[in-house]
Amino acid sequence: MKLKTILSLFGCLSIIAPGFAQTTADALKAIDAEQYQKAKAQLQQLITTAPAKDENYFHLGWVYVLQDYPDSAKAVFSKGIAADPKSALNYVGLGIVAKLDKDDASMLSNFDKASTLAGKDDKPYIYIAKAYLLKPDPKADLALNTLTKAVKFGAKDPEYFLTLGDIYHSKLDNNNAYSNYSQAQLLDPKSARTNVVIGSLWKQANNFEDATQKFKDALAINPNYGPAYRELAETDLRWALTDPKMASVKVKEGADYYKKYLDLTDRSAESEMRYADFLIQAGDYTALEQVANDLAKSSKSNLRIYRYLGYAGYENKNYQAGLDALNKFIREADAKRIIPRDYLYLGRLQLKTNQDSLGILNLNKAIALDSTFDEAYNDIATSLYTKKKYVEAGDAYKKYIEHSHHVKLTEYFREGMSYYYGYSNQYYNSTGNKDGVKPDSTLLAKADSAFSYIQQKTVAKPVGDVLLYRARIKDLEEKDRNNIEGLAKPLYEQYIALETVTPPTDERTKKNLGEAYAYLGAYYDYKEKDDNKATENFKKASEIYPDNKQAKAYLAKKDASDNKGK
């Protein structure tokens, strides 16, 4: 009985055991589902049990590439070649790492070697093409050229058509992309991935309803297919950015979808970092800081965590902590990993921690590397204005206005203020100083140009401060202070008419009206020699703002003169 029992149990185990055995196909399914930790464990087990099988080394190295660990990938590809010196796939792997290292000679050498060894296997060509799609590249058309070499023996491989579709998608040729994705779907109707890539075409075209449906079709095939939830999240984010009315709902829904994606992809550090990238796009820096801090506790080996802490530190006003984190990332990361946005945030953090020169240097570096970061000119200008470096601030605002597609009238106003105060400082510093530098009159012209632009755009609803500063500029343009022409008079009159429609209540407006009336008083006193109008305007200045020194002096002098005449 004991022997029979043992034999019976052994028989059961022999039936059950194969169910637990992992295959390369299982690992590929895990990679497709972005379950990278699971895939790595399976592939490492397969390498242990079948060390001569070269494809398992390649797929393990490919996972490391997808996770942005090129050094680990290179080591595994090299082991694959040691296990099988004729492994076309692992030579492709070495070429991929060389591409990431921007070593074109080594990349092409390894790809050529792989092509020589490939024979009629389409997989090496497919992965060479995928390599060209990893990062935008001037040689991206080589991906298409590479796949033409596999056209004869890839005609029945869904992966061939999916990759071809990806190539056309990257070239924004969505008609050809859709055609190839559809062919892949005919060959493999049960593929969740094919529905996802077709949905991504609709997402790119801002056809959010159809995109969402395709992702849900993918989930109908495989309810645990994580990439479908990720695409739903990113579609919601794009939807939110294009439709302000839907923004809050879609951002929240997108975050919930992304959490489902994380739950289905092992919640690995790499998946969490992809979530962090999503949070940056969503502008949720509070959540980003929490995710980054959690990652810092559990996975300090990946320096990207400190990039996230740097970005979040700036946006959440934890400037010193953000600067420390981003400095660590830039100091320790491979130079090839530093992106223009890193310099943008480094510069901003340096400005906020009183390292102005370094901050401006790094912001300019960010702009030089990526011209879309024109917002940095605004950061530079704001910093210079705060430090009362007005001329330099005006130049920075001018550059921002010239380069940005999101300029508001506020930036024109700040440009005008900067040049106005820049000239004012020069003017008053040179007054009474024989050795003083003559003020640069072009600054007044630049200031007036900025204010005039605003005035043209706000004809229906004039801005009081614009009229006020234009009046001040015109007054500074007077060539002879002892014989004024009254250049500012019409603008001060417009300012008075605008600001007295209703009685002013704030002290600032009262003070400015006092200035305007006092100017008119002086104009009638010195230019027109009209004592009555001069007195009338100085009285108005005094009534609305009793501390106006010019009105006080004039009225005191007049009272003394009147009393003396009596």
Task: State the pLDDT at residue 30.
Answer: 94
Do 167 and 147 form a contact (C-beta atoms < 8 A)? Answer: yes
| Tens-digit pLDDT profile for residues 436-472 | 678 999 999 999 999 999 999 999 999 999 999 999 9
Is 546 domain-assigned? yes
Outline where 333-389 has alpha helix (H). Answer: 340-352, 356-369, 375-386
Task: State the pLDDT at residue 4.
Answer: 40
Q: How many Å is the Cα radius of gyration of the chain?
A: 35
Q: What angle do CA 186, 188, 191 make, to 5 degrees?
A: 120
Q: For the beta carbon of residue 58, count every other beta carbon within 10 angstroms.
A: 27
Is 512 domain-assigned? yes
CATH of the domain at 532: 1.25.40
| Residues sharing a CB contact under 8 Å with residue 354, sequence separation 6 or more, in sequence order | none
Q: What is the DSSP string of 35-70?
A: -HHHHHHHHHHHHHH-TT-HHHHHHHHHHHHHTT-H
Is 555 domain-assigned? yes
Q: How many helices (H) and strands (E) does the chain have?
A: 30, 0
Q: Which tokens is 233 given?
A: 């999240």
Q: For the beta carbon of residue 7, count every other beta carbon within 10 angstroms.
A: 10
Is 218 domain-assigned? no
pLDDT < 50 regions, the chain: 1-20
Distance CA(74)–CA(97), nearest Å, equals 6
In 3D space, the residue among 188, 195, 194 whose CA is nearest the CA of residue 162 turns out to be 194
Distance CA(501)–CA(515), nearest Å, equals 17
Q: Provide the domain count of the chain.
A: 1
- Cα 48 from chain centre: 44
Q: For the beta carbon of residue 247, count every other beta carbon within 10 angstroms.
A: 16
Is 537 domain-assigned? yes
| Tens-digit pLDDT profile for residues 22-66 | 899 999 999 999 999 999 999 999 999 999 999 999 999 999 999
- Type of residue at 121: D
Task: State the pLDDT at residue 8.
Answer: 41
Is 246 domain-assigned? no
Computed from CA positions of residues 112, 114, 116, 122, in that sequence, does the dihedral angle turn out positive or negative?
negative
Through-space distance between the first and last CA atoms of the chain, rounded to whole angstroms: 142
Task: State the pLDDT at residue 10.
Answer: 36
In 3D space, the residue among 513, 522, 499 whose CA is nearest the CA of residue 543 turns out to be 513
Task: State the pLDDT at residue 566.
Answer: 58
Is 506 domain-assigned? yes
Domain that holds residue 505: 493-565
Task: State the pLDDT at residue 139.
Answer: 54
Is 86 domain-assigned? no
